Structure 1
Amino acid sequence: MKTPLIPPLPASACLGVIAPAGPPKAGVLAQVAPLLKRWGFMAKRFPGCDGPAHLGHLAASDEQRLADLHAALADPEVDALLCLRGGYGCLRIGDRVDLELVRRAAKPLIGYSDITTLHGLWARAGVPAWHAPMPASDWVRDGGWPDAEHLAAALRRGVWAGDVQHAPGPCHPLDHGGCAKGRLLGGNLSVIASGLHTPADPDWRGAVLFLEDVAEDPYRLDRYLTQLRLAGVLDAVSGFVLGGFSEADSPDAVLADALHPLGKPVLAGWPAGHIVPHWALPLGLPVQLDVAQRQLRWL
């Protein structure tokens, strides 16, 4: 019998709702539990979700957000951790996250954007995670409902060796090269750059690097990519998957300039990031990237 790479969440699974970064907008918190119940999940909300906000841009104090993360990991009722939203704040607690607790609990983490910092920590602990839309920033916005339902279906199914996801549409102008294998890591480019040489910086050697970003002008993306190049990340990885780069001028020229000379496979136009559609993408698992087929196969 096959063993799942990420086990399916059982009926009535409990999702620990945490706010490790920014505060939710007014009125959003009350919607989370009913939405999860509609998909057959239970919600357990941790105190930092209710604030008080700290410094205006953090959901709660560093101590509270860290305590919530650890409490959700240690709680035997919680099957997975659901982050309310991104914004900023995960890096502030990144040096104090208990990696042994992450490893021992082995609970998937759901989120993206600033949650990329936590994805790096999960990767260091060897625990898979979900790069996926979040309730306070995505589920309740126009067009976000199908993505939320896609995530719910993915959580119920889990991930199995041999599973395949395809990028929609024809060949993208940035597509380049053939195939690559490695552990799928990454997330938000600017957050990855901020986390280099910190405890949230995973081992990039041989990885397939997924990148996305929002509201970053091409020259700023150039800076982040150059930072990754000088830190050895671009040389270390085996290939690239490019998601959405939204709310700014097209970055295609900058991305081609930074990535194509490396001679490594590049698969662009992946439906993930600060865009719609945003399909749940498993991170931390070995994949085969096939540019010609525009697909990822989990191994």
Structure 2
Amino acid sequence: MSGRLIPALPFGATLGLIAPAGPPAAGSLERVPALLAAHGFKAKLFPGCAGPTHLDYLAASDAQRLADLHAAFADPEVDAVLALRGGYGCARLLEQIDTDLLRRQPKLLIGFSDITALHGLRDGLGLVGLHAPMPASNLLDADASADAHALFSLLHRGLSAGEQIAPALPAHDLNQGERAAGRLIGGNLAVFTALLGTPWAPRADGAILFIEDVGEAPYRVDRLLVQLRQAGVLDAAAGFLIGSFSDAESPDAVLADLLRPLGKPMLAGWPSGHCRPHIALPLGLQVEMDVAAGCLTVI
């Protein structure tokens, strides 16, 4: 564990499963323990994972989802906390989260999409999280074995300064600049932007801003980026890491129009988000982005 910025979890470690946003699809919850066991982890499912749902789109009531989140971080048996899926709902919990508890129990939080809101809150506490696939979101899919292996292998080995994250990236027209270094922040563009004006919006000064989204038409991506610009986030950031924008027309023209004139290093086509493969990203850690090499180095 010495020197690791994300501690290694041994085989047999327990992952606490919570559903802070949407409910799992029918029949998926029962398959999660076997998935984790196949990769050397025990699963501890907290009650809200099984419902009952609230308003049809929330896994359980706000009170239950909040109680599960607190219980998972407080539980001495739980080594790291894994969100079951995204959807929507984390924002409803933010003002009630016990931040003192999270500071006392700085366990890793793993998840993406709506979990971006929780990563934002934790960033303000100086806590690291993994923007990574989730069991009932995409890790149970038939073609997700490589993503599952990559994520759980990362959890077993941990992450140290000097390590590179270097997926095979084709050249991309949006790429510009050479290098930028800073704290890695961001996640889902719509959820991240919704944090603006709240106490849980991560500081962007000197940061590497990662963005991804799903099902957002180019004009909606435009609106979100303009809001980030008007809030000073784009000017404050040191560089941009562009992930997947899936299930909609490509927003590359919008990204070029709004980000390229800033003259900051930008690395695009990064395989993270609502896509496959989905490479885990260490939010909250300092990284150096090398555009020409197409990689991130933890520093």
The TM tier, using the shorter chain, reads over 0.9
Q: Give how far 1:288 is off.
A: 0.5
Task: Flag as ranges the 4+ runs of structure 1 deviating above 6 A.
Answer: none
Q: Give how far 1:2 is off.
A: 4.9
How far apart are the structure 1 equivalents of 2:193 and 2:284?
A: 18
User: Per-residue CA shift, 1:194-237, capped at 9, x if unaligned?
Assistant: 11121321111111000000000000000000000001110111
Q: Which residue of structure 1 aligns with residue 173 of structure 2?
A: 173
2:121 matches 1:113? no
Q: Give how far 1:280 is off.
A: 1.3
Q: Give how far 1:60 is off.
A: 0.3
Q: Give how far 1:137 is off.
A: 1.2
Identity of aligned residues (%): 59
Q: Which residue of structure 1 aligns with residue 197 of structure 2?
A: 197
User: Per-residue CA shift, 1:262-296, capped at 9, x if unaligned?
Assistant: 11100001110000110111111000011011110
How far apart are the structure 2 equivalents of 1:142 and 1:268?
A: 27
Partner SS, residue 117 of structure 1? helix
**Equivalent pair of 2:14/2:80 in contact (CA under 8 Å):** yes
Q: Decide which moves more: 105-114 or 140-149.
A: 140-149
Q: Which residue of structure 2 aligns with residue 57 of structure 1?
A: 57
How far apart are the structure 1 equivalents of 2:132 and 2:65?
A: 20
**TM score, norm. by length of structure 1:** 0.98
Q: Which residue of structure 2 aligns with residue 141 of structure 1?
A: 141
User: 1:63-82 to 2 correspondence within 5 Å?
Assistant: 63-82=63-82
Count of residue correspondences:
299
Q: Give how far 1:259 is off.
A: 0.7
How far apart are the structure 1 equivalents of 2:162 and 2:25?
A: 39
How far apart are the structure 2 equivalents of 1:133 and 1:79?
A: 18
User: Per-residue CA shift, 1:88-145, capped at 9, x if unaligned?
Assistant: 0000111111222112101010100000000101111111111100110101224222
Q: Give how far 1:11 is off.
A: 2.1
How far apart are the structure 2 equivalents of 1:236 and 1:272?
A: 23
Q: Which residue of structure 2 aligns with residue 254 of structure 1?
A: 254
Q: Decide which moves more: 214-223 or 91-100.
A: 91-100
CA RMSD in angstroms comes to 1.1
2:160 matches 1:160? yes
**Equivalent pair of 1:94/1:199 in contact (CA under 8 Å):** no
Q: Which amino acid aligns with 1:69?
A: L
- Structure 2 unmatched ranges of 5 or more: none
How far apart are the structure 2 equivalents of 1:157 and 1:268?
A: 27
**Equivalent pair of 1:168/1:270 in contact (CA under 8 Å):** no
Q: Which amino acid aligns with 1:86?
A: G
Q: Decide which moves more: 26-35 or 196-205.
A: 196-205
